[in-house]
Amino acid sequence: MSISAPDQPALLTVRGLSAYYGESRALYGVGFTVEKGTIHSIVGANGAGKSTLLRAIVGMMNRGRAAHTAGSIEFRGRRIDALPTEEIVGLGVTMVPEGRRLFASMSVEENLVCGAFLPRCRAALGETLETVYSLFPRLADRRQQPVSQMSGGEQQMVAIGRALMSSPELILLDELSLGLAPIVVDQIYERIAAINRRGVTCIVIEQDTERAMRVATAVSVLLEGRVVLEGDPDELGRERVSAAYFGLETAGKAAGPGG
Amino acid sequence: MNEDLYWTFIDIANGLLSGVMLGGYYAIIAIGLALTFGVMRLVNLAHGDMLVLAAYLAVLVLQFVPISPFITLALVIPVMFGVGYALQRFLLNAISVQSMERKGMSAGFGLMSPILVTFGLSIVIAHALLGGFASDARIIRNALSYSAVRLTEDLNLSTLRLIFFVIAVAILVALHLFLRRTHAGRAIRASADDAEIAPLMGIATPKINALASGIAIAIAGVAGVMVGMSRTFQPFDGPVFLLVAFGVVIVGGLGSIVGSLVGGVLLGITQVLAGTYFGPSAQLVAGYILILFVLAVRPQGLFARRR
C-alpha cells in the first residue's frame, strides 16, 4: 500500500459524480464520503438518482453510450470509477440489487456459493457459508430449496447472504424493504445492524425516511441528482431531512417553512 | 407364438433400440446450440458448420496418421474448444446486446447481429472447406461401420451407434456435473439466469461466455466426428445438422440437458419407426410432424425451464 496520508482516508470518497443514461442526466456532481464502519443512508424521492448512484459505485454505469459517469469514485484511496464491476467486487465492494435479482434456477445454497466466485473467497467458502447461516438461520434449514419457492423476506435474506459471500468491506443495499411486510423489514434491518457490527460498512437506500434515519450513522439527501443535505441524522433532525427530501431546503441551508 | 405378432414386436423393439441410440447422437448434435442460447441468448446459425468443420479436421488428421478415428478426438476437442472460445471472445462478444448499447445502437441490433454474423460465418466455413477439400463426399472410415452387437437372435444394435450413445450420455453427465458442481459451471448458469447481476459475484461475463461457447463447440466437434463416422458429408452439409439440432431443442426444450437427451431420443424413435413402416422418405416428415406437434401442444418444449 502506498497511502502516505497521515490520517486514514475515508473508505469511499465520491467527488463531482455525474451520471448519464444516453443523453439524459441522472446525477449532477454528487460528492460525499463514507467512513469505515458506518451505516450511511441515502434518502430521496423516486427518480432522485439513488439507485443510479449505487450502480455507479459498483461500475454498472460504465456502459458506453448507453450509460456513463464523470467525476471520481475512490475506494480506500484508489480510483475505481473506470473499473469493470467484477474488479470492483474483487476489491471489496458489492451491492444487493433492487428487486433481489436471485439466480432463479438455483437453490439457496447455490445462490450463496455463486457469491463466492472470486478465487480469494473460494478458499474460505465453508467458513463464510457458516457465517451467513448463523446470521440467517432460516436459510440453513432451506439450503436445497429453489429460491423461486421462497417468500420475499427469505429471498431478501438470500440476496444479502449472497453479497456477504464475497467478504465485502462495503456493501450497498438498494431498497431492501421493497414489497416486504413491515415486521419482515424490521428483522432484515436488525440483521443489517448485526452485519455492520462485524465491521462491514453499509450504504443503504430506503424509501421510508424515518427508518433510514433510525438505522444510519450518516445520512445524505438526494434531490434531482444533487446532494442537498448531509450529516448526522440525530443532529439534522427529521424535519430538516424531510424538508430537503421535498426540495424545501438546499445545500444544508434552512429555507423558510412553507416555501 | 403367432409369427406375425412376433415380427411386429421385433420390428418395434429394433426401432425403439436404434431410435434411442440415434437419440443420444442427436442430443450431442443439439446440446451446444442449447447451451449457447441458454447462456448468451444467441442462436449460432453456424452450429452445423462447426460439426462439419470438426469432421474435416478428423479427415485431415487421418490423412497424416493412420489412427482410430476416436483418437482424433484428442485433437478435435481442444481445437474446437479454441474455435468456440475465440469466436465468442473476439467476435460475438463484440456484437452482443450490451456491446451494441455501448456503441449507442438499439438493443434490436444486438439481437439481430449474431444471427447475421453466424449466418455469414456458416457461409465462410462452408466455402473454406470447399476450397480446402473440394466437394467430394467424404466419410471417416472405421473398423466398426458394419459391426453389430447381437442381443437376441433377431434383435441387434449397430456397435457404432451403441458407442456413440455411451459417449453421448457420458458427455451429458459430465456437462451436468460441471454446471452443478464447479465454480466455473455455476458462473455459466448465473450468467444465463441474470447476466447483469453475475458481475456482482465477481464473474467476468465476457470470459464466462467464451468458456461456455468453447464447451458448446467442443461438444459439437465430438458430434461432428460421430457424424463423419456414420454417414458421408460434404462442405455444405452444415444446415442439415443445424436443423436436427433445432428439432431436438424444440422437442426437448431449451436450457435443459435432460431435455436434449429426451428430445433427441423422441426424435430418433419417431424417425426410425417411421422409416421401418413407411420407408426411408418418411423419416424426415415424421420428424417434422413430431416437431409441429410439440410446437402446437407445448411450445416451450417438454423440459423447458421456468422463466
Q: Say if B199 is an interface residue toward chain A (CB within 8 Å).
A: yes
Highest mean pLDDT of the ranges A34-38, A206-210, A241-245: A34-38
Task: State residue B74's pLDDT score.
Answer: 97
Task: State residue A2's pLDDT score.
Answer: 45
The label of the residue with cell 437376441 reads B152
Q: Say if A60 is an interface residue toward chain B (CB within 8 Å).
A: yes
Q: Say if B181 is an interface residue toward chain A (CB within 8 Å).
A: no
Residues A136-149 pLDDT 10s: 999 999 999 999 99
Shortest Cα distance from A94 to chain B (angstroms)?
6
Task: State residue A257's pLDDT score.
Answer: 39
Q: Would you say the C-alpha torsion B7, B9, B15, B20 has a positive or negative sign?
A: negative
Asked whether the predicted pLDDT for residue B73 surpasses 70, the reply is yes
**What's the average model confidence in pLDDT over B260-270?**
93
Element spanning B112, H or E:
helix B107-133
Q: Say if B101 is an interface residue toward chain A (CB within 8 Å).
A: yes
Band (B149; pLDDT cuts 50, 70, 90): confident
Residues A63-84 pLDDT 10s: 999 999 999 999 999 999 999 9
Restricting to A residues 197-226, those with a Cβ less than 8 Å away from any Cβ of B are none
Task: State residue B105's pLDDT score.
Answer: 87
- Rounded to 5°, angle at Cα B167 from B166 and B172: 100
DSSP 8-state code for residue A148: G
Q: Say if A85 is an interface residue toward chain B (CB within 8 Å).
A: yes
Contact state of A63 with B189 under an 8 Å Cβ cutoff: no
Which residue type occupies B164? F
* Neighbouring C-beta atoms of residue B182, cutoff 10 Å: 11
CB A100, CB A118: distance < 8 Å: no
Task: State residue B147's pLDDT score.
Answer: 86
**What's the average model confidence in pLDDT over B258-267?**
92
For residue B106, the SS3 value is: coil
Contact state of B187 with A90 under an 8 Å Cβ cutoff: no
**What's the average model confidence in pLDDT over B20-25?**
92
Here the ipTM equals: 0.91
Q: Which of residues B8 and A53 earns the better pLDDT score?
A: A53
CA A190 to chain centre: 16
- Among B72, B68, B51, which Cα is nearest to B60's? B72
Question: Average pLDDT, whole number, for chain B?
Answer: 92
Residues of chain B positioned with their CB less than 8 A from the CB of A94: 200
Residue of A nearest to B201 (CA): A115
**What's the average model confidence in pLDDT over A180-195?**
96
Q: Residues 6 or more apart from B203 whose CB is under 8 A from it?
A: A86, A114, A117, B187, B190, B191
Task: State residue A88's pLDDT score.
Answer: 98
Task: State residue A250's pLDDT score.
Answer: 54
- Among B262, B207, B249, B183, which Cα is nearest to B47's? B249
Q: Residues 6 or more apart from A192 whose CB is under 8 A from it?
A: A39, A160, A173, A176, A202, A204, A215
Contact state of B102 with A66 under an 8 Å Cβ cutoff: yes
* Summary count for chain A: helices (H), strands (E): 10, 10
Contact state of B189 with A105 under an 8 Å Cβ cutoff: yes
Q: Which of A57, A100, A103, A112 to mutate to test the interface with B (most CBs of B within 10 A)?
A: A103
Q: Say if B177 is an interface residue toward chain A (CB within 8 Å).
A: no
Nearest to A103 among B194, B204, B205 (CB): B194
CA-CA distances (angstroms) from residue B130 to B119, B124, B134, B234, B237? 17, 10, 5, 8, 11
CA B269 to chain centre: 17
The label of the residue with cell 423476506 reads A153
Q: Say if B189 is an interface residue toward chain A (CB within 8 Å).
A: yes
Task: State residue B108's pLDDT score.
Answer: 81
Backbone angles phi, psi at A117, to 5 degrees: -65, -35
Q: Say if A242 is an interface residue toward chain B (CB within 8 Å).
A: no
For residue A12, the SS3 value is: strand
Percent of chain B with pLDDT over 90: 73
Q: Say if B141 is an interface residue toward chain A (CB within 8 Å).
A: no
Q: Residues 6 or more apart from A102 whose CB is under 8 A from it?
A: A111, A147, A155, A158, A159, A162
CB burial of residue A210 (10 Å; 0-12, 13-18, 19+): exposed
Q: Residues 6 or more apart from B173 whose CB is under 8 A from it?
A: none
Element spanning B215, H or E:
helix B205-230
Q: How many residue pairs from chains A and B have C-beta atoms closer than 8 A?
A: 83
**What's the average model confidence in pLDDT over A213-219?**
94
**CATH number for the domain running over A9-91+206-251:** 3.40.50.300
Q: Say if A238 is an interface residue toward chain B (CB within 8 Å).
A: no
Asked whether the predicted pLDDT for residue A57 surpasses 50, the reply is yes
For the ranges A159-163, A231-235, B211-215, which has the lowest average pLDDT?
A: A231-235
Nearest to A90 among B104, B189, B202 (CB): B202
Asked whether the predicted pLDDT for residue B302 surpasses 50, the reply is yes
**What's the average model confidence in pLDDT over A152-179?**
96
Distance CA A214, CA A200 (A): 18
Task: State residue B221's pLDDT score.
Answer: 98
Distance CA B171, CA B111 (A): 30
Q: Say if B156 is an interface residue toward chain A (CB within 8 Å).
A: no
Task: State residue A1's pLDDT score.
Answer: 43
Task: State residue A15's pLDDT score.
Answer: 97
Q: Where are the domains of chain A?
A: 9-91+206-251
Shortest Cα distance from B300 to chain A (angstroms)?
16
Residue of B nearest to A58 (CA): B200
Task: State residue B107's pLDDT score.
Answer: 79
For residue B180, the SS3 value is: helix
